[in-house]
Structure 1
Amino acid sequence: MTVAPVRVPIRGAGGLLRRRGVGWLGFAPFGAYVVLFLGIPGVVAVASGFFAADGSPTLANFSAFTDPTILKDFWNSLWVSALSALLSAVLGALIAWALTSTRPDGFVRASADSASSVLAQFGGVMLAFAWIATIGPEALVTRFLQALLHVDINANGPILYSVPGLLFPYTYFGVPLMVLTFLPALDGLKPQWGEAVATLGGTRRRYWWRIGVPVLAPAFLGSFILLFANAFSSYATAAALIDQGGIVPLAIKQQLTSETIVGVANTAGVLALGMVVIMAVLMSGYALLERRTRRWQR
């Protein structure tokens, strides 16, 4: 006698598929926004570097990377972004560490989170004006230093109107961004780890050296990369302070709006491609570090 196989219905499979379909449907508006306002303009901008002014394909635009001025702009962008990211990472990490001693649902933590969220997005012309009013040639702090300490920070020219002067605004919005990204990692340190070290006779210094620093290192480095990328791609504040270039975003602007050198507009696409390559490498490293950080946060 042949026994017919028993079919066991799989419950919930259809509901799961429907939920996934609804989830992708809800993601569609954001996906369309990314494609229309980020993806397509980015591809068009980079692709323009592979065409000449008359529309014919060419690789001649890549000769821009042999121009000493362009190379200097890339170097300036790299060092000012790295230094501002380092300063922001250290200061932001100290502030975040101080906030861990407050109540997570208390007034101080809520105020710090709100202030960091606002200040991390404060940039552009308004931030440039704020710093001009603070340490500009005729600003309050400048006059104060001259009158009391006989120190003139603008003795060699207005410091804000140069590439080193970008360290001030870049660090200003970098510190609150570091607080927002690094504070969750500090909150993820489990008290049981410190108690276990103390039970085994370890000191607080050994706890940080053997557990705290290795655990927080991926999150710190990931936040540093994020701060670097944020400063490296910043344009509005630098454009409000510096007119004659000096960093890559301003060099791209010059290539697009130059009235003295004709036919260099497509070179801007090559410079944009260089920025995209650097950003892709950085964000790939950030993704790897973020994945490693999640392992101990589970």
Structure 2
Amino acid sequence: MTATLPRTDVVPAASPKRRARAGGVLAVVPLLAFTAIAFGVPAIAMLNGAFSVKDQATGASSYSTQNLTTSLQGAYLTALLGSVKLSAVSAGIGTLLGLPLAQVIVTSRFRVLREAALTASGVLANFGGIPLAFAFVATLGNAGVLTRHLGLTDAGWDLYSFWGLVIVYLYFLIPLMVLTITPALEGLRSQWREAAQNNGATGVQYWRHVALPVLLPSLLGGFVLLFGSAFAAYATAAAMVGSSVPLVTLQIADAISGNVLVGQENVALALSLDMVLVAGLVMAVYLPLQRRSARWLDA
């Protein structure tokens, strides 16, 4: 009688979980390839140009940090700081105005009005560029309808200024804040308000000690999101103020169009790299705040 030995040449079948995991990886491959082509190639080209310096005498190119140094000096630095200031001011005002507006929408008893307001916010948050600039020029420009009828010019109003640009940016930043903070407001538990009232807290005390601390990560995240949206805006400012308000996006456009000194063409790529770094810092702040807010509201 001979013993039957187990076969060692049989390959075990893959488990369902392993097959599902492999299928998920294959499904992501097209997205990764598209991301690598659409974002990776331009990023590599930007980095290469930002660190490339061409010798005007010999025509030879070499790698140096000269372009980055130039992008942080003179008019370029002024434009970068101007964009940061404009984005911070408009994002701060948009956050302060968007929160109470979103609260009114969330607590509205009329469902149709609530849905209409959220739909309008979604449309207005994506309405920008040249059409928005022309709409404000026709309304609040030097010869605008409201400017002439209300005599705003005599009162010192100037649309083509820093504060004029802030007002235009608020047109799409406030609706964006409404869309951003509405889910957080809907996540506030009614039991929290009832518990505060049972302990003798007023409405102001409830918002100061309960609601606002819970909403703080969402508010800061919304501010950061608004900052990034305003920081990257270009067409609206280009159509309205041109070069009267120094902005880094306008400086990049001038450099790309050839309106720069000879040998300074790659400074535009260095300025773009500066913007990418600022955007990276913005996202580094936004993502942890978003996760922290989700933990509070989903608990």
TM-score, L = length of structure 1: 0.86
Residue number in structure 2 paired with 1:203: 202
Gaps of 5+ in 2: 1-13, 55-59
Kindly report the root-mean-square deviation, in angstroms, between the aligned alpha carbons of the 2 structures: 2.2
Which residues of 2 match residues 247-258 of structure 1 at below 5 A?
Answer: 247-258=247-258
Residue 228 of structure 1 deviates from its aligned partner by 0.4
1:32 aligns with 2:33: yes
Aligned residues: 279
Pick one of 130, 153, 159 that aligns with 2:157: 153
Residue number in structure 2 paired with 1:187: 186
Once residues 105 and 259 of structure 2 are traced to their aligned partners in structure 1, the CA distance between those partners, rounded to angstroms, is 52
1:101 aligns with 2:107: yes
* Counterpart AA for 1:187: E
Residues 60/86 of structure 1: CA separation in 2 closer, same or farther (3 Å cut): same
1:279 aligns with 2:285: no
Residue 152 of structure 1 deviates from its aligned partner by 4.8
Residues 272/94 of structure 1: CA separation in 2 closer, same or farther (3 Å cut): same
SS in 2 for 1:258: coil
Gaps of 5+ in 1: 1-12
Residues 225-276 of structure 1: per-residue CA shift (max 9 Å, x gap): 0000110111121122233371001111122223452121111121112111
Once residues 22 and 112 of structure 1 are traced to their aligned partners in structure 2, the CA distance between those partners, rounded to angstroms, is 41
CA contact (8 A) 1:77 1:232 kept: yes
CA contact (8 A) 1:256 1:264 kept: no
Once residues 272 and 260 of structure 1 are traced to their aligned partners in structure 2, the CA distance between those partners, rounded to angstroms, is 15
CA contact (8 A) 1:99 1:109 kept: yes
CA contact (8 A) 2:71 2:267 kept: no
CA contact (8 A) 2:133 2:236 kept: yes
Residues 265/117 of structure 1: CA separation in 2 closer, same or farther (3 Å cut): same
Residues 209/164 of structure 1: CA separation in 2 closer, same or farther (3 Å cut): closer
1:50 aligns with 2:51: yes
1:125 aligns with 2:120: no
Once residues 211 and 18 of structure 2 are traced to their aligned partners in structure 1, the CA distance between those partners, rounded to angstroms, is 42
Residue 25 of structure 1 deviates from its aligned partner by 4.1
Which residues of 2 match residues 256-271 of structure 1 at below 5 A?
Answer: 256-259=256-259, 261-271=261-271
Residue number in structure 1 paired with 2:141: 136
| Mean Cα deviation higher: 284-293 or 94-103 | 94-103
Structure 1 or 2, whichever has the larger Rg, is 2
CA contact (8 A) 1:46 1:272 kept: no
Once residues 107 and 28 of structure 1 are traced to their aligned partners in structure 2, the CA distance between those partners, rounded to angstroms, is 42
CA contact (8 A) 1:146 1:152 kept: no
TM-score, L = length of structure 2: 0.86
Identity of aligned residues (%): 37
1:112 aligns with 2:117: yes
SS in 1 for 2:15: helix
Residues 151/163 of structure 1: CA separation in 2 closer, same or farther (3 Å cut): closer
* Counterpart AA for 1:153: W
SS in 2 for 1:274: helix
Residues 200-248 of structure 1: per-residue CA shift (max 9 Å, x gap): 3333333222211100011001000000011011112112223337100
